[in-house]
């Protein structure tokens, strides 16, 4: 950022008030003090002048742009005042108070207000030149140098600015040369780093792929073991049922046939083999309705279900049909006798 000022420009022949002169003086003292501290912090100068001192930086050919120089005195004064009030003291190029006042001085050499304004702007332009030099903006530093030289060709800071700008440019050129000389080494280093990065990523991806394959194999093995366990349980249940039927047949052959009589048993005596869940009615599911149905049914000696009927339903006639249909598909271990029991089936859309 460029330093800014809130000091208003003077009209021709107008003297600056004492309090404004004091404020400007304080601003300049602070700026000069900061520059002094910066120079003190730098390395001590050697006995010989730097090589850049023999080739001082050349100021721009024209400090004031042709567009600004072509304006009339009234336009220059108006634009200078606006630029001063808007803190465009020396930048941007072609639209700043310094250029407008310099062009106005060329047209009105004896105007005291113009001379006073340029005197006020010079110290701040010197500081801006040093700041541009320090950040490596040599084009801007030379432009500002040209403004200072046009405003006062005998200004005491000109010689120092020439030398310091040239020295900074030479140092920048040396750094650029060093960067150019080390470009191949840096490129080779980047190529090597890229190879190492690719090799590391390839190794990491290979390890990740192996871990993923191991996890998948483990999951498949667990799934296979679970399926085998379910199949073994199913075969065991079927074998027990077959053995029970065979025992019943042998007992029937050895004992005189007697008509089987239904008997009431508790639900704990029944061993279910397959109890598929009922289908949820579509309308009830869409409506989010829940409920329960109590079904009474008879388990035949071979474990099949007959005579299923609804005893109680809440709400009525919503889940009855699906509950009865599901119970008819149930299968139990052969109880050896006809068993009548009741079961309550719940319907919950959230399950």
Closest by CA position to 144, among listed 158, 159, 160, 163: 158
pLDDT band at 254 (very low <50, low <70, confident <90, very high): confident
Assess contact for 167 and 159: CB atoms under 8 A.
no
Instruction: For Cα atoms 125, 127, 132, give the angle at the middle one, nearest 5 degrees.
Output: 90
Closest by CA position to 339, among listed 351, 326, 330: 330
pLDDT band at 94 (very low <50, low <70, confident <90, very high): very high
pLDDT computed for residue 129 by the predictor: 97
What residues contact residue 4 under an 8 Å CB cut-off, 6+ apart? 87, 89
What are the tokens at 66? 């042709």
Q: Domain 267-347 in CATH: superfamily?
A: TonB (3.30.2420.10)
Distances (CA, A) of 87 to 133, 165, 343: 21, 25, 92
pLDDT computed for residue 255 by the predictor: 61
Burial class (CB in 10 A: 0-12, 13-18, 19+), 109: exposed
Residues in the chain: 351
Percent of the chain with pLDDT over 70: 79
Interval 113-132: pLDDT, tens: 999 999 999 999 999 999 99
pLDDT computed for residue 245 by the predictor: 87
Closest by CA position to 50, among listed 162, 188, 182: 162
* 3-state secondary structure at position 277: coil
pLDDT computed for residue 341 by the predictor: 92
Judge whether residue 173 has pLDDT over 60: yes
pLDDT band at 53 (very low <50, low <70, confident <90, very high): very low
DSSP 308: E
Closest by CA position to 242, among listed 330, 302, 304: 302
Judge whether residue 102 has pLDDT over 80: yes
What's the mean pLDDT in 288-310? 93
For the chain, the structural domain boundaries read: 18-40+50-181, 182-254, 267-347
Closest by CA position to 275, among listed 333, 224, 226: 333
Residue that wins the pLDDT comparison between 178 and 47? 178
What residues contact residue 335 under an 8 Å CB cut-off, 6+ apart? 265, 269, 270, 299, 301, 303
pLDDT computed for residue 9 by the predictor: 47
pLDDT computed for residue 197 by the predictor: 85
Alpha carbons 170 and 160: distance in angstroms, whole number: 15
């Amino acid at each position: 950022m460029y330093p800014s000022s809130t000091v208003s420009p003077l009209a021709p022949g107008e003297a600056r008030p004492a309090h404004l002169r004091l404020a400007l003086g304080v601003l300049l003292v602070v700026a000069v003090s900061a520059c002094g501290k910066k120079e003190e912090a730098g390395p001590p100068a050697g006995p010989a002048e730097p090589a850049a001192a023999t080739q001082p930086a050349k100021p721009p050919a024209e400090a004031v742009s042709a567009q600004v120089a072509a304006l009339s005195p009234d336009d220059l004064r108006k634009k200078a005042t606006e630029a001063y009030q808007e803190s465009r003291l020396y930048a941007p190029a072609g639209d700043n108070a310094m250029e407008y006042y310099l062009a106005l001085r060329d047209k009105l050499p004896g105007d005291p207000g113009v001379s006073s304004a340029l005197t006020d702007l010079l110290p701040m332009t010197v500081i801006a030149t040093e700041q541009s030099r320090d950040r490596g903006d040599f084009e801007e530093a030379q432009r500002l140098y040209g403004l200072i030289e046009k405003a006062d060709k005998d200004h005491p800071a000109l010689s120092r600015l020439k030398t310091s700008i040239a020295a900074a440019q030479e140092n920048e050129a040396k750094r650029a040369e060093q960067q150019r000389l080390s470009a191949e080494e840096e490129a080779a280093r980047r190529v090597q780093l890229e190879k190492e990065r690719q090799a590391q990523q390839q190794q990491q991806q290979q390890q990740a792929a192996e871990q993923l394959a191991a996890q998948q194999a483990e999951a498949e093995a667990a799934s296979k073991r679970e399926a085998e366990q379910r199949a073994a349980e199913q075969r065991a249940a079927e074998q027990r049922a077959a053995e029970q039927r065979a025992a019943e047949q042998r007992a029937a052959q050895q004992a005189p046939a007697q008509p089987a009589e239904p008997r009431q048993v508790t639900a704990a005596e029944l061993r279910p083999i397959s109890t598929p869940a009922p289908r949820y009615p579509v309308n009830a599911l869409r409506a989010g309705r829940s409920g329960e149905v109590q079904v009474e049914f008879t388990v035949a000696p071979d474990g099949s279900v007959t005579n299923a009927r609804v005893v109680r339903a809440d709400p009525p006639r919503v889940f009855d049909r699906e509950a009865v249909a599901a119970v008819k598909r149930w299968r139990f271990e052969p109880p050896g006798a006809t068993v009548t029991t009741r079961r309550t089936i719940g319907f919950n859309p959230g399950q």
